[in-house]
Chains A and B, each alone.
Chain A
Amino acid sequence: MVVFLQGRHNIGTIFLIMDKCFQQGFDAKSEQGFICTKLDSLINWVRANSIWPQPMGLACCAIELMGVGGSRFDIGRFGMEVMRFSPRQSDCMIVAGTVTYKMAGSVKRVYDQMAAPKWVVAMGACACSGGMFRTYSTLQGVDKVIPVDVYVAGCPTRPEALIDALMSLQNKIRSERSARGLFSK
Protein backbone atom coordinates (compact mmCIF):
# COMPACT_ATOMS: atom_id res chain seq x y z
CA MET A 1 0.00 0.00 0.00
CA VAL A 2 1.35 3.40 -0.88
CA VAL A 3 0.28 6.69 0.60
CA PHE A 4 1.13 9.98 -1.08
CA LEU A 5 1.34 13.14 0.90
CA GLN A 6 1.61 16.53 -0.67
CA GLY A 7 2.88 19.27 1.60
CA ARG A 8 2.79 23.01 1.40
CA HIS A 9 6.42 23.11 0.43
CA ASN A 10 5.99 20.39 -2.13
CA ILE A 11 7.48 17.69 0.04
CA GLY A 12 6.49 14.41 -1.48
CA THR A 13 6.71 11.79 1.22
CA ILE A 14 5.98 8.20 0.48
CA PHE A 15 5.15 5.72 3.15
CA LEU A 16 5.33 2.15 2.12
CA ILE A 17 3.31 0.25 4.62
CA MET A 18 3.19 -3.49 4.55
CA ASP A 19 2.09 -4.32 8.01
CA LYS A 20 -0.98 -6.37 8.65
CA CYS A 21 -2.02 -4.63 11.82
CA PHE A 22 -2.67 -1.42 9.96
CA GLN A 23 -5.08 -3.19 7.67
CA GLN A 24 -7.06 -4.51 10.60
CA GLY A 25 -10.33 -2.68 10.75
CA PHE A 26 -10.15 -1.66 7.14
CA ASP A 27 -11.46 -3.83 4.35
CA ALA A 28 -8.99 -2.88 1.72
CA LYS A 29 -10.98 -4.53 -1.07
CA SER A 30 -14.32 -2.91 -0.35
CA GLU A 31 -12.65 0.49 -0.06
CA GLN A 32 -10.92 -0.03 -3.40
CA GLY A 33 -7.56 -0.03 -1.74
CA PHE A 34 -7.96 3.40 -0.17
CA ILE A 35 -7.90 4.13 3.51
CA CYS A 36 -9.01 7.33 5.08
CA THR A 37 -7.27 8.25 8.28
CA LYS A 38 -5.79 11.20 10.04
CA LEU A 39 -2.28 12.04 8.98
CA ASP A 40 -1.33 12.37 12.65
CA SER A 41 -2.30 8.82 13.47
CA LEU A 42 -0.57 7.49 10.38
CA ILE A 43 2.71 9.21 11.19
CA ASN A 44 2.48 8.41 14.88
CA TRP A 45 1.76 4.78 14.12
CA VAL A 46 4.87 4.60 11.99
CA ARG A 47 7.02 6.42 14.51
CA ALA A 48 5.81 4.56 17.57
CA ASN A 49 6.48 1.14 16.14
CA SER A 50 9.94 1.70 14.79
CA ILE A 51 11.81 3.42 17.58
CA TRP A 52 15.50 2.97 17.04
CA PRO A 53 17.19 3.52 20.36
CA GLN A 54 20.53 5.19 20.84
CA PRO A 55 21.98 3.28 23.80
CA MET A 56 23.85 5.94 25.72
CA GLY A 57 25.26 3.26 28.00
CA LEU A 58 27.17 4.97 30.76
CA ALA A 59 27.19 2.75 33.80
CA CYS A 60 25.45 -0.15 35.52
CA CYS A 61 22.12 0.43 33.76
CA ALA A 62 23.85 -0.23 30.45
CA ILE A 63 24.23 -3.86 31.48
CA GLU A 64 20.49 -4.12 32.07
CA LEU A 65 20.03 -2.40 28.73
CA MET A 66 22.11 -5.17 27.20
CA GLY A 67 19.92 -7.61 29.09
CA VAL A 68 16.84 -6.07 27.48
CA GLY A 69 18.45 -6.70 24.11
CA GLY A 70 19.21 -10.28 25.13
CA SER A 71 17.13 -13.32 24.58
CA ARG A 72 15.03 -13.40 27.75
CA PHE A 73 13.46 -9.95 27.57
CA ASP A 74 13.91 -9.41 23.84
CA ILE A 75 13.12 -5.79 23.10
CA GLY A 76 12.71 -6.86 19.48
CA ARG A 77 9.10 -7.69 20.28
CA PHE A 78 8.41 -3.96 20.28
CA GLY A 79 10.37 -3.07 17.18
CA MET A 80 13.16 -1.47 19.16
CA GLU A 81 15.93 -4.00 18.90
CA VAL A 82 17.79 -1.94 16.32
CA MET A 83 20.28 -0.35 18.69
CA ARG A 84 22.11 2.30 16.75
CA PHE A 85 25.30 3.75 18.10
CA SER A 86 25.21 6.48 15.51
CA PRO A 87 23.06 9.39 16.67
CA ARG A 88 22.05 10.15 13.08
CA GLN A 89 20.28 6.83 12.76
CA SER A 90 18.37 6.80 15.99
CA ASP A 91 15.20 8.36 17.36
CA CYS A 92 15.30 7.68 21.07
CA MET A 93 18.24 8.17 23.36
CA ILE A 94 18.24 5.86 26.36
CA VAL A 95 20.49 7.50 28.93
CA ALA A 96 21.51 4.49 30.98
CA GLY A 97 23.70 5.39 33.89
CA THR A 98 25.34 8.14 35.87
CA VAL A 99 26.00 11.31 33.94
CA THR A 100 29.08 13.04 35.27
CA TYR A 101 30.07 16.58 34.44
CA LYS A 102 32.94 15.25 32.39
CA MET A 103 30.55 13.16 30.31
CA ALA A 104 27.57 15.53 30.20
CA GLY A 105 28.98 17.61 27.37
CA SER A 106 29.31 14.53 25.20
CA VAL A 107 25.79 13.40 26.03
CA LYS A 108 24.51 16.82 25.02
CA ARG A 109 26.52 16.74 21.83
CA VAL A 110 25.22 13.32 20.84
CA TYR A 111 21.70 14.49 21.58
CA ASP A 112 22.18 17.56 19.41
CA GLN A 113 23.38 15.35 16.57
CA MET A 114 20.26 13.23 16.58
CA ALA A 115 17.78 14.10 13.87
CA ALA A 116 14.30 15.25 14.91
CA PRO A 117 11.91 13.86 15.95
CA LYS A 118 13.81 12.57 18.96
CA TRP A 119 12.95 11.38 22.42
CA VAL A 120 14.95 10.73 25.57
CA VAL A 121 14.44 8.07 28.21
CA ALA A 122 16.31 8.67 31.47
CA MET A 123 16.97 5.15 32.67
CA GLY A 124 17.67 4.63 36.32
CA ALA A 125 18.00 6.82 39.38
CA CYS A 126 21.32 8.35 38.33
CA ALA A 127 20.09 9.61 34.98
CA CYS A 128 16.85 10.86 36.55
CA SER A 129 18.28 12.73 39.52
CA GLY A 130 21.88 11.81 40.20
CA GLY A 131 20.67 8.91 42.29
CA MET A 132 22.87 7.86 45.16
CA PHE A 133 25.81 9.84 43.85
CA ARG A 134 25.35 13.26 45.35
CA THR A 135 28.95 14.20 44.85
CA TYR A 136 31.18 16.84 43.35
CA SER A 137 31.51 15.12 40.00
CA THR A 138 27.99 13.95 39.24
CA LEU A 139 25.41 15.88 37.28
CA GLN A 140 22.21 15.73 39.33
CA GLY A 141 19.96 14.41 36.60
CA VAL A 142 20.42 14.39 32.85
CA ASP A 143 17.44 16.74 32.50
CA LYS A 144 19.81 19.55 33.43
CA VAL A 145 21.32 19.32 29.96
CA ILE A 146 18.79 17.63 27.68
CA PRO A 147 14.99 17.38 27.75
CA VAL A 148 13.69 14.05 29.01
CA ASP A 149 10.43 12.37 27.93
CA VAL A 150 10.28 9.35 30.20
CA TYR A 151 11.91 8.84 33.59
CA VAL A 152 12.38 5.28 34.80
CA ALA A 153 13.12 4.48 38.42
CA GLY A 154 15.39 1.72 39.59
CA CYS A 155 19.00 1.27 40.48
CA PRO A 156 19.55 -0.30 38.08
CA THR A 157 16.25 -0.29 36.24
CA ARG A 158 14.88 -3.75 35.77
CA PRO A 159 14.44 -4.80 32.14
CA GLU A 160 10.67 -5.03 32.58
CA ALA A 161 10.60 -1.45 33.80
CA LEU A 162 12.56 -0.26 30.80
CA ILE A 163 10.20 -2.06 28.44
CA ASP A 164 7.30 -0.43 30.27
CA ALA A 165 8.97 2.95 29.88
CA LEU A 166 9.45 2.42 26.18
CA MET A 167 5.80 1.41 25.85
CA SER A 168 4.73 4.58 27.61
CA LEU A 169 7.00 6.46 25.25
CA GLN A 170 5.06 4.79 22.42
CA ASN A 171 1.84 6.04 24.00
CA LYS A 172 3.28 9.51 24.21
CA ILE A 173 4.28 9.41 20.57
CA ARG A 174 0.80 8.25 19.60
CA SER A 175 -0.69 11.37 21.17
CA GLU A 176 1.65 13.82 19.47
CA ARG A 177 0.46 16.22 16.77
CA SER A 178 3.11 15.16 14.33
CA ALA A 179 1.62 16.42 11.08
CA ARG A 180 1.74 19.98 12.27
CA GLY A 181 5.44 19.69 12.85
CA LEU A 182 5.89 18.15 9.43
CA PHE A 183 4.55 21.09 7.44
CA SER A 184 5.25 24.09 9.66
CA LYS A 185 8.07 26.50 8.95
Chain B
Amino acid sequence: MEKEFTYPEPASLEADRLGEKMILNIGPSHPATHGVLRMKLELDGDLITRADPIVGQLHRGQEKMAENLTYNQFIPFTDRLDYLAPLCNNIAFVQCVEKIAGIGVTERCKAVRVICCELSRIASHLVGIAAYGMDAGSWTVFMYCFTQREKLCTLFEQLTGARMTTSYARVGGLARDIPEGWLGNVNSFANQFLPALDEIDALITRNKIFIDRTAGIGVVSPEQAMQWGLTGANLRGSGVASDLRKDVPYLGYENYEFDVPIGVNGDCYDRWLVRIEEMRQSIRIVRQAIEKMPDGPVNVADPRISLPKKEKVLRDMEDLINNFVLVTQGPDIPAGDAYFEAENPKGALGFYIVSKGGGVPYRVKIRAPSFVSLSAMQEILPGHHMSDMAVILGSFDFVLGECDR
Protein backbone atom coordinates (compact mmCIF):
# COMPACT_ATOMS: atom_id res chain seq x y z
CA MET B 1 0.00 0.00 0.00
CA GLU B 2 1.23 3.42 -0.83
CA LYS B 3 1.05 5.75 2.10
CA GLU B 4 -0.80 9.01 1.72
CA PHE B 5 1.38 11.97 2.27
CA THR B 6 0.31 15.34 3.54
CA TYR B 7 1.42 18.57 2.02
CA PRO B 8 3.62 20.79 4.13
CA GLU B 9 2.44 24.28 4.92
CA PRO B 10 3.47 26.78 2.29
CA ALA B 11 6.11 29.25 3.35
CA SER B 12 4.56 31.63 5.78
CA LEU B 13 4.61 35.21 4.72
CA GLU B 14 4.42 37.11 7.95
CA ALA B 15 6.21 34.98 10.52
CA ASP B 16 9.71 35.06 9.07
CA ARG B 17 9.82 38.69 8.10
CA LEU B 18 12.73 40.77 9.20
CA GLY B 19 11.67 44.02 7.63
CA GLU B 20 15.03 44.54 5.97
CA LYS B 21 15.06 44.34 2.21
CA MET B 22 17.98 43.16 0.19
CA ILE B 23 18.38 42.91 -3.56
CA LEU B 24 19.95 39.73 -4.84
CA ASN B 25 20.97 39.25 -8.42
CA ILE B 26 21.06 35.73 -9.80
CA GLY B 27 22.41 34.99 -13.23
CA PRO B 28 22.69 35.43 -16.14
CA SER B 29 25.32 32.73 -15.76
CA HIS B 30 23.95 30.55 -13.03
CA PRO B 31 23.12 26.84 -13.01
CA ALA B 32 19.66 27.31 -11.54
CA THR B 33 18.46 29.67 -14.22
CA HIS B 34 18.62 27.16 -17.11
CA GLY B 35 20.49 29.32 -19.50
CA VAL B 36 20.84 33.04 -19.55
CA LEU B 37 17.94 34.13 -17.42
CA ARG B 38 18.75 36.80 -14.89
CA MET B 39 16.65 37.11 -11.76
CA LYS B 40 16.54 40.23 -9.67
CA LEU B 41 15.07 39.25 -6.33
CA GLU B 42 14.12 41.43 -3.44
CA LEU B 43 14.61 39.40 -0.30
CA ASP B 44 13.46 39.79 3.23
CA GLY B 45 15.76 37.45 5.06
CA ASP B 46 15.21 34.26 3.13
CA LEU B 47 11.82 35.19 1.75
CA ILE B 48 11.33 36.51 -1.74
CA THR B 49 9.23 39.64 -1.63
CA ARG B 50 9.61 40.75 -5.21
CA ALA B 51 10.90 38.91 -8.24
CA ASP B 52 11.90 40.50 -11.49
CA PRO B 53 13.06 38.14 -14.22
CA ILE B 54 15.26 39.91 -16.75
CA VAL B 55 15.18 38.23 -20.13
CA GLY B 56 16.58 39.12 -23.50
CA GLN B 57 20.14 37.91 -23.04
CA LEU B 58 19.52 35.49 -25.88
CA HIS B 59 17.52 37.83 -28.09
CA ARG B 60 18.87 37.02 -31.54
CA GLY B 61 16.36 38.85 -33.68
CA GLN B 62 14.60 35.82 -35.10
CA GLU B 63 11.42 37.71 -35.98
CA LYS B 64 13.40 40.29 -37.93
CA MET B 65 15.30 37.47 -39.58
CA ALA B 66 12.03 35.88 -40.70
CA GLU B 67 11.06 39.01 -42.61
CA ASN B 68 14.19 38.64 -44.72
CA LEU B 69 14.02 34.94 -45.51
CA THR B 70 11.68 32.76 -47.49
CA TYR B 71 9.35 30.49 -45.57
CA ASN B 72 11.45 27.41 -46.09
CA GLN B 73 14.63 29.29 -45.26
CA PHE B 74 13.21 30.25 -41.90
CA ILE B 75 12.68 26.62 -40.85
CA PRO B 76 16.27 26.18 -39.57
CA PHE B 77 15.70 29.22 -37.35
CA THR B 78 12.70 27.60 -35.76
CA ASP B 79 15.05 24.82 -34.66
CA ARG B 80 16.80 27.32 -32.47
CA LEU B 81 13.64 28.54 -30.75
CA ASP B 82 12.94 25.72 -28.39
CA TYR B 83 16.11 23.83 -29.08
CA LEU B 84 14.99 20.93 -26.91
CA ALA B 85 12.18 20.05 -29.29
CA PRO B 86 13.18 21.37 -32.71
CA LEU B 87 10.93 19.02 -34.68
CA CYS B 88 7.87 20.40 -32.93
CA ASN B 89 8.84 23.96 -33.86
CA ASN B 90 9.49 23.07 -37.50
CA ILE B 91 6.12 21.48 -37.75
CA ALA B 92 4.28 24.28 -35.94
CA PHE B 93 5.76 26.85 -38.29
CA VAL B 94 4.97 25.04 -41.51
CA GLN B 95 1.47 24.30 -40.24
CA CYS B 96 0.90 28.01 -39.88
CA VAL B 97 2.17 28.69 -43.40
CA GLU B 98 0.02 25.89 -44.74
CA LYS B 99 -2.94 27.45 -42.98
CA ILE B 100 -2.51 30.73 -44.87
CA ALA B 101 -1.98 29.00 -48.18
CA GLY B 102 -4.71 26.44 -47.58
CA ILE B 103 -2.43 23.49 -48.24
CA GLY B 104 -3.62 20.13 -47.00
CA VAL B 105 -0.76 17.71 -46.41
CA THR B 106 -0.90 14.02 -47.17
CA GLU B 107 -1.96 11.41 -44.63
CA ARG B 108 1.49 9.85 -44.48
CA CYS B 109 3.03 13.24 -43.86
CA LYS B 110 0.59 13.82 -41.00
CA ALA B 111 1.43 10.51 -39.39
CA VAL B 112 5.19 11.10 -39.68
CA ARG B 113 4.75 14.57 -38.23
CA VAL B 114 2.80 13.15 -35.30
CA ILE B 115 5.60 10.69 -34.55
CA CYS B 116 8.15 13.50 -34.80
CA CYS B 117 6.16 15.75 -32.49
CA GLU B 118 5.66 13.09 -29.88
CA LEU B 119 9.26 11.88 -29.95
CA SER B 120 10.55 15.38 -29.50
CA ARG B 121 8.04 15.96 -26.75
CA ILE B 122 9.65 13.04 -24.95
CA ALA B 123 13.13 14.40 -25.68
CA SER B 124 12.19 17.80 -24.35
CA HIS B 125 10.48 16.50 -21.24
CA LEU B 126 13.50 14.30 -20.55
CA VAL B 127 15.77 17.33 -20.43
CA GLY B 128 13.10 19.19 -18.52
CA ILE B 129 12.83 16.63 -15.76
CA ALA B 130 16.59 16.01 -15.79
CA ALA B 131 17.21 19.69 -15.09
CA TYR B 132 14.32 19.80 -12.66
CA GLY B 133 15.69 16.81 -10.79
CA MET B 134 19.10 18.45 -10.71
CA ASP B 135 17.58 21.60 -9.28
CA ALA B 136 16.03 19.53 -6.54
CA GLY B 137 19.38 17.92 -5.81
CA SER B 138 19.28 14.68 -7.73
CA TRP B 139 22.14 14.01 -10.13
CA THR B 140 21.23 10.41 -10.89
CA VAL B 141 18.04 11.26 -12.71
CA PHE B 142 20.05 13.49 -15.03
CA MET B 143 22.16 10.53 -16.10
CA TYR B 144 19.15 8.29 -16.56
CA CYS B 145 17.31 10.88 -18.62
CA PHE B 146 20.27 11.65 -20.83
CA THR B 147 20.83 7.99 -21.53
CA GLN B 148 17.33 7.86 -22.98
CA ARG B 149 17.70 11.19 -24.73
CA GLU B 150 20.81 10.02 -26.52
CA LYS B 151 18.80 7.15 -27.96
CA LEU B 152 16.25 9.65 -29.20
CA CYS B 153 18.99 11.81 -30.67
CA THR B 154 20.21 8.79 -32.60
CA LEU B 155 16.70 8.30 -33.95
CA PHE B 156 16.52 11.95 -34.99
CA GLU B 157 19.89 11.62 -36.63
CA GLN B 158 18.72 8.64 -38.65
CA LEU B 159 15.66 10.59 -39.70
CA THR B 160 17.04 14.05 -40.37
CA GLY B 161 20.81 13.85 -40.30
CA ALA B 162 21.19 16.04 -37.24
CA ARG B 163 20.95 15.32 -33.55
CA MET B 164 19.30 18.52 -32.50
CA THR B 165 18.78 21.05 -35.24
CA THR B 166 16.66 18.93 -37.47
CA SER B 167 14.97 21.32 -39.99
CA TYR B 168 12.89 18.41 -41.13
CA ALA B 169 9.53 19.88 -42.07
CA ARG B 170 8.89 21.76 -45.28
CA VAL B 171 5.91 23.77 -46.42
CA GLY B 172 3.59 21.16 -47.83
CA GLY B 173 5.40 18.14 -46.51
CA LEU B 174 8.74 16.98 -45.21
CA ALA B 175 12.33 17.22 -46.30
CA ARG B 176 12.38 13.53 -47.13
CA ASP B 177 10.51 10.36 -46.41
CA ILE B 178 11.42 8.26 -43.38
CA PRO B 179 14.38 5.96 -43.94
CA GLU B 180 13.91 2.26 -44.23
CA GLY B 181 13.62 0.44 -40.93
CA TRP B 182 13.25 3.63 -38.94
CA LEU B 183 9.80 2.80 -37.65
CA GLY B 184 11.16 -0.45 -36.30
CA ASN B 185 13.84 1.48 -34.46
CA VAL B 186 11.22 3.81 -33.04
CA ASN B 187 9.22 0.83 -31.95
CA SER B 188 12.12 -0.78 -30.15
CA PHE B 189 12.92 2.55 -28.53
CA ALA B 190 9.33 2.76 -27.29
CA ASN B 191 9.52 -0.77 -25.93
CA GLN B 192 12.61 -0.12 -23.85
CA PHE B 193 11.62 3.43 -22.91
CA LEU B 194 8.60 2.63 -20.79
CA PRO B 195 10.51 0.47 -18.27
CA ALA B 196 13.25 3.10 -18.20
CA LEU B 197 10.68 5.79 -17.52
CA ASP B 198 9.27 3.69 -14.71
CA GLU B 199 12.76 3.58 -13.29
CA ILE B 200 13.11 7.37 -13.45
CA ASP B 201 9.66 7.64 -11.96
CA ALA B 202 10.57 5.30 -9.13
CA LEU B 203 13.77 7.20 -8.46
CA ILE B 204 12.12 10.53 -7.85
CA THR B 205 8.36 10.55 -7.66
CA ARG B 206 8.06 8.91 -4.26
CA ASN B 207 11.31 10.32 -2.97
CA LYS B 208 10.72 11.95 0.40
CA ILE B 209 13.19 14.75 -0.18
CA PHE B 210 11.77 15.54 -3.59
CA ILE B 211 8.21 15.64 -2.29
CA ASP B 212 9.25 17.86 0.59
CA ARG B 213 10.89 20.27 -1.79
CA THR B 214 8.13 20.40 -4.38
CA ALA B 215 4.73 19.64 -2.88
CA GLY B 216 2.85 22.77 -1.92
CA ILE B 217 5.53 24.95 -3.52
CA GLY B 218 4.81 27.26 -6.39
CA VAL B 219 1.05 26.79 -6.31
CA VAL B 220 -0.74 28.30 -9.29
CA SER B 221 -4.52 28.36 -9.21
CA PRO B 222 -6.41 27.61 -12.43
CA GLU B 223 -7.71 31.20 -12.66
CA GLN B 224 -4.23 32.56 -12.12
CA ALA B 225 -2.81 30.25 -14.75
CA MET B 226 -5.35 31.31 -17.36
CA GLN B 227 -4.98 34.98 -16.47
CA TRP B 228 -1.27 34.81 -17.11
CA GLY B 229 -1.85 32.86 -20.28
CA LEU B 230 0.07 29.77 -19.19
CA THR B 231 -0.28 26.87 -21.56
CA GLY B 232 0.75 23.27 -21.94
CA ALA B 233 1.92 21.18 -19.02
CA ASN B 234 2.10 24.23 -16.75
CA LEU B 235 -1.58 24.96 -17.28
CA ARG B 236 -2.58 21.32 -16.97
CA GLY B 237 -0.60 21.05 -13.77
CA SER B 238 -3.00 23.63 -12.37
CA GLY B 239 -5.95 21.43 -13.17
CA VAL B 240 -7.21 22.98 -16.41
CA ALA B 241 -7.91 20.25 -18.93
CA SER B 242 -6.67 22.15 -21.94
CA ASP B 243 -4.67 20.43 -24.61
CA LEU B 244 -4.63 21.85 -28.10
CA ARG B 245 -4.22 18.38 -29.51
CA LYS B 246 -7.71 17.61 -28.18
CA ASP B 247 -9.27 21.07 -28.29
CA VAL B 248 -8.23 22.36 -31.69
CA PRO B 249 -7.01 19.14 -33.29
CA TYR B 250 -4.38 19.41 -35.96
CA LEU B 251 -2.40 16.74 -37.84
CA GLY B 252 -5.25 14.34 -37.25
CA TYR B 253 -4.70 14.11 -33.51
CA GLU B 254 -8.42 13.46 -33.17
CA ASN B 255 -7.84 9.98 -34.57
CA TYR B 256 -5.44 8.98 -31.83
CA GLU B 257 -6.40 7.67 -28.46
CA PHE B 258 -4.61 9.34 -25.59
CA ASP B 259 -5.37 10.85 -22.22
CA VAL B 260 -4.57 14.32 -21.01
CA PRO B 261 -3.11 14.20 -17.52
CA ILE B 262 -4.03 17.12 -15.29
CA GLY B 263 -2.84 18.11 -11.85
CA VAL B 264 -4.91 18.84 -8.80
CA ASN B 265 -3.03 21.28 -6.63
CA GLY B 266 -1.12 23.25 -9.24
CA ASP B 267 2.16 22.96 -7.38
CA CYS B 268 5.62 21.98 -8.56
CA TYR B 269 4.99 18.33 -7.73
CA ASP B 270 1.90 18.21 -9.93
CA ARG B 271 3.77 19.70 -12.85
CA TRP B 272 6.34 16.94 -12.43
CA LEU B 273 3.65 14.25 -12.43
CA VAL B 274 1.99 15.74 -15.50
CA ARG B 275 5.26 15.69 -17.46
CA ILE B 276 6.02 12.10 -16.53
CA GLU B 277 2.55 10.98 -17.54
CA GLU B 278 2.65 12.96 -20.78
CA MET B 279 5.66 10.96 -21.88
CA ARG B 280 3.73 7.73 -21.41
CA GLN B 281 0.86 9.14 -23.43
CA SER B 282 3.28 10.20 -26.15
CA ILE B 283 4.52 6.65 -26.45
CA ARG B 284 0.91 5.57 -26.80
CA ILE B 285 0.40 7.98 -29.67
CA VAL B 286 3.66 6.96 -31.34
CA ARG B 287 2.67 3.32 -31.26
CA GLN B 288 -0.73 4.05 -32.80
CA ALA B 289 0.89 6.15 -35.49
CA ILE B 290 3.36 3.40 -36.36
CA GLU B 291 0.55 0.89 -36.50
CA LYS B 292 -1.54 2.78 -39.01
CA MET B 293 1.22 4.47 -40.96
CA PRO B 294 -0.32 5.03 -44.38
CA ASP B 295 1.60 4.56 -47.59
CA GLY B 296 1.97 7.20 -50.23
CA PRO B 297 3.95 10.37 -50.79
CA VAL B 298 4.94 12.73 -47.98
CA ASN B 299 4.84 15.90 -50.04
CA VAL B 300 1.82 17.47 -51.67
CA ALA B 301 1.68 16.92 -55.42
CA ASP B 302 1.53 20.66 -56.15
CA PRO B 303 4.63 21.66 -58.15
CA ARG B 304 4.26 25.26 -56.97
CA ILE B 305 4.99 24.15 -53.41
CA SER B 306 6.97 20.93 -53.35
CA LEU B 307 10.36 20.45 -54.90
CA PRO B 308 10.44 18.05 -57.84
CA LYS B 309 12.16 14.69 -57.45
CA LYS B 310 15.92 14.81 -57.72
CA GLU B 311 16.06 12.34 -60.61
CA LYS B 312 13.68 14.52 -62.59
CA VAL B 313 15.67 17.67 -61.82
CA LEU B 314 18.76 16.03 -63.25
CA ARG B 315 16.90 15.04 -66.41
CA ASP B 316 14.22 17.61 -67.28
CA MET B 317 14.74 21.28 -67.97
CA GLU B 318 11.30 22.27 -66.64
CA ASP B 319 11.86 20.54 -63.34
CA LEU B 320 15.28 22.11 -63.04
CA ILE B 321 13.78 25.56 -63.52
CA ASN B 322 11.00 24.77 -61.09
CA ASN B 323 13.51 23.56 -58.54
CA PHE B 324 15.60 26.68 -58.99
CA VAL B 325 12.65 29.06 -58.62
CA LEU B 326 11.31 27.25 -55.57
CA VAL B 327 14.66 27.28 -53.84
CA THR B 328 15.60 30.87 -54.59
CA GLN B 329 12.22 32.57 -54.31
CA GLY B 330 10.33 30.13 -52.16
CA PRO B 331 6.81 28.88 -52.65
CA ASP B 332 4.39 31.70 -53.37
CA ILE B 333 2.11 32.11 -50.36
CA PRO B 334 -1.06 34.14 -50.98
CA ALA B 335 -1.73 37.32 -49.05
CA GLY B 336 -3.45 36.87 -45.74
CA ASP B 337 -2.74 36.26 -42.10
CA ALA B 338 -2.99 33.24 -39.89
CA TYR B 339 -2.49 32.40 -36.26
CA PHE B 340 -1.65 28.88 -35.36
CA GLU B 341 -0.80 27.39 -32.00
CA ALA B 342 0.66 23.95 -31.64
CA GLU B 343 0.81 21.97 -28.43
CA ASN B 344 4.54 21.98 -27.88
CA PRO B 345 6.32 20.43 -24.91
CA LYS B 346 6.77 23.86 -23.31
CA GLY B 347 3.22 25.00 -24.01
CA ALA B 348 1.38 26.48 -26.94
CA LEU B 349 3.87 27.73 -29.50
CA GLY B 350 2.03 30.21 -31.65
CA PHE B 351 2.96 31.74 -34.96
CA TYR B 352 1.14 34.76 -36.32
CA ILE B 353 2.21 35.19 -39.90
CA VAL B 354 1.17 38.08 -42.10
CA SER B 355 1.79 37.51 -45.77
CA LYS B 356 1.47 40.06 -48.53
CA GLY B 357 2.02 37.45 -51.16
CA GLY B 358 5.30 36.21 -52.54
CA GLY B 359 7.90 33.98 -50.98
CA VAL B 360 8.89 36.13 -47.99
CA PRO B 361 6.62 36.70 -44.99
CA TYR B 362 5.75 40.28 -44.15
CA ARG B 363 5.73 39.68 -40.42
CA VAL B 364 6.21 36.63 -38.24
CA LYS B 365 5.26 36.93 -34.61
CA ILE B 366 6.32 34.06 -32.44
CA ARG B 367 4.22 33.47 -29.38
CA ALA B 368 6.70 31.79 -27.09
CA PRO B 369 5.25 29.75 -24.24
CA SER B 370 8.44 30.10 -22.19
CA PHE B 371 8.17 33.87 -22.40
CA VAL B 372 4.68 33.70 -20.97
CA SER B 373 5.66 31.20 -18.25
CA LEU B 374 8.49 33.45 -17.17
CA SER B 375 6.28 36.51 -17.07
CA ALA B 376 4.16 34.75 -14.45
CA MET B 377 7.19 34.39 -12.19
CA GLN B 378 6.75 37.89 -10.84
CA GLU B 379 3.55 36.73 -9.21
CA ILE B 380 4.45 33.14 -8.37
CA LEU B 381 7.86 33.58 -6.76
CA PRO B 382 7.07 36.18 -4.06
CA GLY B 383 6.21 34.51 -0.76
CA HIS B 384 8.55 31.60 -1.30
CA HIS B 385 11.91 30.94 0.23
CA MET B 386 15.01 31.62 -1.76
CA SER B 387 15.78 27.90 -1.90
CA ASP B 388 12.45 27.23 -3.58
CA MET B 389 13.29 29.45 -6.50
CA ALA B 390 15.38 26.81 -8.24
CA VAL B 391 12.62 24.23 -7.89
CA ILE B 392 9.91 26.56 -9.14
CA LEU B 393 11.96 27.64 -12.13
CA GLY B 394 12.77 23.99 -12.84
CA SER B 395 9.14 22.95 -12.62
CA PHE B 396 8.05 25.48 -15.25
CA ASP B 397 10.52 24.03 -17.73
CA PHE B 398 11.24 27.03 -19.89
CA VAL B 399 13.89 27.46 -22.48
CA LEU B 400 15.53 30.79 -23.06
CA GLY B 401 16.10 30.43 -26.78
CA GLU B 402 12.38 30.46 -27.26
CA CYS B 403 11.68 33.05 -24.60
CA ASP B 404 14.03 35.62 -26.06
CA ARG B 405 13.81 34.57 -29.73
Contact = CB atoms under 8 A, between A and B. Distances in A.
Are A and B genuine complex partners? yes
Interface string A146-175: 000000000110100000000000000000
B163 interface: yes
Contact of B29 (A110, A136, A137): A110
A59 to B, nearest CB: 5
Interface string B132-160: 00000000001100110110010000000
B61 A70 contact: no
B150 A70 contact: yes
Contacts of A158: 163
B80 A59 contact: yes
Contacts of B35: 57-59, 62
Contact of A133 (B65, B84, B153): B65
Contact of B61 (A56, A59, A67, A135): A135
Given A132-B77, A135-B64, A103 B127 contact: no
Interface in A58-109: 58-60, 62-64, 66-67, 70-72, 85, 97-98, 100, 102-103, 106-107
A138 interface: yes
Interface residues of B, number: 33
A125 to B, nearest CB: 10
A72 B29 contact: no
Nearest to B32: A85
Given A60-B164, A70-B150, A132-B76, A103 B28 contact: yes
B206 interface: no
Interface stretch (B51-59, B214-222, B344-352): B51-59
B165 interface: yes
Contacts of B77: 132
A133 B68 CA distance: 12
A66 B127 CA distance: 9
B173 interface: no
B80 A67 contact: no
Contact of B58 (A64, A71, A97): A97
Q: Classify chain A's interface size.
A: 20 to 34
Contacts, number: 91
Counting chain B CB atoms within 10 Å of each CB, which of A59, A85, A156 scores highest? A59
Interface in A110-134: 110, 132-133
Interface string B257-269: 0000000000000
Contact of B165 (A58, A138, A155): A155
Interface in B39-79: 56-61, 64-65, 76-77, 79
Contact of B143 (A62, A64, A70, A97): A70
A103 B153 contact: no
A48 to B, nearest CB: 25
Contact of B64 (A98, A110, A136, A156): A136
B164 A63 contact: yes
B146 A133 contact: no
Nearest to A73: B150
B163 A58 contact: no
A107 B57 CA distance: 11
A132 B153 CA distance: 22
B60 A100 contact: yes
B59 A64 contact: no
A110 B58 CA distance: 17
Contact of A136 (B31, B56, B61, B127): B61
B251 interface: no
Nearest to A70: B146
The 5 closest A-B pairs by CB, nearest first: A70-B146, A135-B61, A60-B83, A103-B57, A72-B150
Interface of A: 56-60, 62-64, 66-67, 70-72, 85, 97-98, 100, 102-103, 106-107, 110, 132-133, 135-138, 155-156, 158
17 contacts: A59-B400, A62-B35, A63-B83, A64-B164, A70-B143, A71-B150, A72-B150, A85-B29, A100-B59, A102-B59, A106-B57, A132-B77, A137-B61, A138-B60, A138-B61, A156-B164, A156-B165
